[in-house]
DNA sequence: CAGCATCCCGTTGGATACTG
DNA sequence: CAGTATCCAACGGGATGCTG
């Protein structure tokens, strides 16, 4: 790892965001409504139970996500974004926008290529 | 991977940034001055040649970084940020700031914990 | 100088089965 | 419902040696 502390903090921030499903989990929780475990599963059709659990635990550890267990049968657990977690919102937002633009750019390039190929 | 296209773009953006050394490489190139391969190595003392090459190639592929080869002996290759690549700057900047704040927060918490333990 | 090739290992994530 | 446990595959990344 890089020694220079001024440069290392990128990584710290990225660690909280990186993980195959973390951005999407955060996206849904940032909508504001607390979500139950299986609600999240439904929103992320391809995630495995295991990964959902792991990622949620990590986000909880960073205090980005809050986990509330309702002591009842059948069990009910709700996940929500913390106030602190909301501070990630602008970053996610800019990442998202940049991503959209980036994809468009790539597609444009692809089209131009086909164009010149068929010329 | 998530099917919903509106949510997928996070990942696209992250892909361009993620990689153990990419943020730090970008940080240096965003200073504006073109850098030679070995200059970058010196700035990232712990990176291996292999990883520097791989990451630079990926960034080049995304047109975030421009690679210029000077046909001379010994070879000289300069890497610089593209105009397009500069559009990542605000994102990197916010990530950095969030990272700094996040570390401070963690340290504060650690200190408080020691405090209560020794009470 | 600026790489590429090869081999290797640890981590991340996936598949599946089981449980309070 | 909301998880755990176990096993396994893929990939990112590291170490080392060679080259135009």
Q: How many CB atoms lie within 10 A of CB B66?
A: 17
The reply to whether residue A13 touches residue B87, judged by beta carbons under 8 angstroms, is: no
pLDDT of B23 above 50: yes
**Mean pLDDT value across chain A:** 90
pLDDT for res B2: 41
- Percentage of chain A modeled with pLDDT above 90: 75
A18 touches strand D (CB under 7 A): no
Q: Is B31 on the interface with A (CB under 8 A)?
A: no
CB of A19 within 8 Å of any CB in chain B?
Answer: no
Give residue B109's pLDDT: 84
Model pLDDT, residue A2: 41
Best CATH choice for the domain B5-116 from the list 3.30.2310.20, 3.40.50.720, 1.10.10.10, 1.20.1250.20: 1.10.10.10
Q: How far apart are the C-alpha atoms of B14 and A70, rounded to whole Å? A: 35
Q: How far is CA B53 from CA B3, B13, B37, in A?
A: 32, 21, 8
Q: Assess whether A23 (CB) lies less than 7 A from strand C.
A: no
Model confidence at A106: pLDDT above 90: no
Q: Is the CB of B42 under 7 A from strand C?
A: no
Strand C proximal to B53 Cβ, under 7 A: yes
C-alpha distance from A111 to closest chain B C-alpha (Å): 16
* Cα torsion angle, A63, A65, A66, A70, sign: negative
* Chain B CB within 8 Å of residue A31 CB: no
> In terms of pLDDT, which residue wins out, A7 or B15?
B15
E strand or H helix that includes residue A67: strand A65-70
Among A24, A62, A103, whose Cβ lies nearest the Cβ of B12? A103
Sort out which chain B residues have CB atoms less than 8 A from A100's CB and list them.
9
Structure confidence by residue, pLDDT tens digits, B37-86: 999 999 999 999 999 999 999 999 999 999 999 999 999 999 999 999 99
Asked if the Cβ–Cβ distance from A96 to B10 is below 8 Å, we say yes
Please give the backbone phi and psi of residue A35, each rounded to the nearest 5 degrees, phi first. Answer: -125, 140
Say if residue B112's pLDDT is above 50.
Answer: yes
pLDDT of B1 over the 50 cut: no
pLDDT digits (tens, 9 = 90+) for A22-66: 999 999 999 999 999 999 999 999 999 999 999 999 999 999 999
CA distance from start to end of chain B: 49
pTM, whole model, 2 decimals? 0.89
Domain boundaries, chain B: 5-116
3-state secondary structure B14-77: HHHHCCCCHHHHHHHHCCCCCEEHHHHHHHCCCCCHHHHHHHHHHHHHCCCEEEEEECCCCCEE
């Amino acid at each position: 790892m890089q020694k220079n502390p001024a440069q290392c903090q990128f990584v710290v921030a990225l660690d909280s965001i990186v993980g195959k499903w973390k951005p999407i989990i955060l996206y849904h929780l940032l909508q504001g409504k607390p979500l139950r475990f299986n609600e999240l599963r439904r929103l992320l059709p391809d995630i495995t139970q295991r990964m959902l659990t792991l990622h949620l635990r990590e986000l909880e550890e960073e205090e980005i996500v809050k986990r509330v267990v309702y002591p009842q049968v059948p069990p009910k657990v709700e996940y929500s974004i913390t106030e602190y977690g909301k501070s990630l919102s602008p970053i996610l937002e800019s990442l998202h926008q940049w991503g959209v633009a980036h994809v468009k750019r790539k597609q444009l390039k692809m089209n131009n290529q086909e164009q010149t190929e068929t010329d």
